[in-house]
Amino acid sequence: MNGNNYRFTNQTSAGPTYDLTPNKNCVGIGTTGCTPLAATLQIEKLNTSPLESDPTGILLKQVTDSDPGNPIAKGIDVELIGNNQENYGIKIDVSNARRNFGVYASAMNPTPPAGANYAIYGEASNGAAGSVAVSGNAYSSIGTNQAGFFNASGTAAGGNYGVSGVASGSSGPNVGVYGQAPIAPGNWAGLFTGDVNINGSAFYFGVTPILSDQQFKTGIDSITNGLSIIKQLKPKKYFMDTTNIYGMNFSNKQQLGFLAQDVEQIMPQLVFQSNKGADLDTAGNIIHPSVTYKALNYIEFIPLLTRGIQEQSKTIDSLKTKTTKQDSINAYLQSEINTLTNMINSCCNANNNHAPIENNNGNGNNNDKSKTTFIDVTLQDGQSVVLSQNDPNPYSEQTIIGYFLPDNVGKAQMLFYNAGGKLIQSVELTQRGQGQLNVFAQDLTNGLYTYTLVVDGKIAATKKMVKQ
């Protein structure tokens, strides 16, 4: 070292063979001579010259091609065995620089090129309280503490992964990446800036709020024609292709939803296009090819469905108002019908009383000249068109209409109208002579209707009937 020869000894006092003067290069083996702490090998170097570039405490270089039968070459091989509280194979303290790296590792140029590089690789096993291959701790009162910082960049065909975690085992849960933080505002077990892609199912054990603050929104407007848009949607039930070649982990259960291609024709703003890159093995071989696919923003269907329900509710309320008014009208008409029915019945009862009416002039003596006699007379004409009143009237479900058509009648029709004068039914009458129509109206709205007998293009008679 520096052109000098050194003799290694456990000598602890200064002398010409082993200079222990401070600020000098010092190598000790099995000695406490360099510091108060005992070490199997301790090397100290104090750089007093600010002009020295990249001072190095230890420089170890090994160039070797391993035997194919023993394909592992090691620059440093450390084995530490002892029943201690803690064992450190390598312990490094670095301080007082603008940036301090306890360990800086670089791995590159694998042979063959299809091989893999690991800057740091750790293994841990057989820990009763757990095994941790790589552990980091960062603490400071200023700046940001990052127990681990990983950066991946380049033009690799398989992509760049800042952190990649794989967990597999035969017992217990397997978690590729695990994060934990106290539950409080501003604490996050995981924080991602950018899009997140989940190839599988996502389970939540709490609420999932989505930012919806007005301060971040512009061009705010009301949704119109929500029900019209909903009517164009085509809900489907389907199964996902669990045997796809792209390595996409779909559920094997039947699902309900929409086809992105269908929704894109109606609301393209809810459709997104994404890409899943190819999956490669450590040798660079493609395991699963890349694929481009469409995705839907299902959350934004909620305000659309809300608007549709509101529009439908408004229509229902309007119909209820109209129905209430119609019920009032029907009740009034029913009252009038009942009055007319009572009047008709009273009139008919009076006409059917054939007993003479005597006038006693208030003195108890009958005056023969004041007696009135009622006589029934029936008139018939075999060549006349006759339209009878429906019976019963009023009616609820069924009524009968009788009619008579002479043989010389050409075309005959029975026309039915509602109270507004709208034609609701037309019936051709082909039978001549005495006939009848059986009218069924259980699905007809209560109210006043008319029926008209038209013979050879002329109205022969019109009568009213009441549905109640």
Instruction: Tell which residue, 348, 349, 356, has the closest CA to residue 373.
Output: 356
Per DSSP, helices labelled H in 159-290 are 226-232, 260-266
End-to-end C-alpha distance for the chain, whole angstroms: 120
pLDDT greater at residue 333 or residue 172: 333
Cβ proximity of 43 and 57 under 8 Å? yes
- What are the distances in angstroms from CA 189 to CA 149, 165, 182, 205, 340? 16, 16, 8, 14, 82
Q: How many CB atoms lie within 10 A of CB 309?
A: 13
- Is 416 exposed, middle or buried (CB count within 10 Å of its CB: 0-12, 13-18, 19+)? buried
Q: Answer yes or no: is pLDDT of 73 > 50.
A: yes
Mean pLDDT calculated for residue range 423-440 = 91
Confidence of residue 17 (pLDDT cuts 50, 70, 90): very low
- Which long-range contacts does 379-384 make (Cβ < 8 Å, 24+ apart)? 382/406, 383/408
Cβ proximity of 466 and 449 under 8 Å? yes
Chain centre distance of CA 147: 36
Confidence of residue 18 (pLDDT cuts 50, 70, 90): very low
pLDDT greater at residue 200 or residue 80: 200
Q: Answer yes or no: is pLDDT of 408 > 70.
A: yes
pLDDT tens readout for residues 317-364: 888 887 777 777 777 788 778 777 777 777 666 555 544 444 444 454
Helix (H, G, I), strand (E, B) or coil at 437: strand
The CA-CA-CA angle for residues 74, 80, 82, to 5°, reads 165
Give the per-residue pLDDT at 260.
96
Max CA pair span of the chain = 178
Structure tokens at 150: 């990983």
CA dihedral 187, 190, 193, 196 (to 10 degrees): -140
Residue with tokens 């407007």: 221
pLDDT tens readout for residues 51-66: 556 666 666 665 666 5
pLDDT tens readout for residues 291-313: 999 999 999 999 999 999 998 88
Structural domains of the chain in order of their starting residue, each with its CATH number = 1-135 (no CATH), 222-346 (1.10.10), 383-467 (2.60.40.1930)
Rounded Cα gap, residues 300 and 27, in angstroms: 71
Please give the DSSP secondary-structure letter assigned to residue 390.
P
pTM exceeds 0.85: no
Please give the DSSP secondary-structure letter assigned to residue 336.
H
Q: Pick the most confident of 40-49, 276-285, 315-324, 427-436.
A: 427-436
pLDDT greater at residue 224 or residue 327: 224
Cα torsion 319, 322, 328, 332: sign: negative
Give the per-residue pLDDT at 46.
55
pLDDT tens readout for residues 187-220: 888 888 888 888 887 887 778 888 899 999 999 9
pLDDT, the chain, mean: 77
Rounded Cα gap, residues 99 and 10, in angstroms: 36
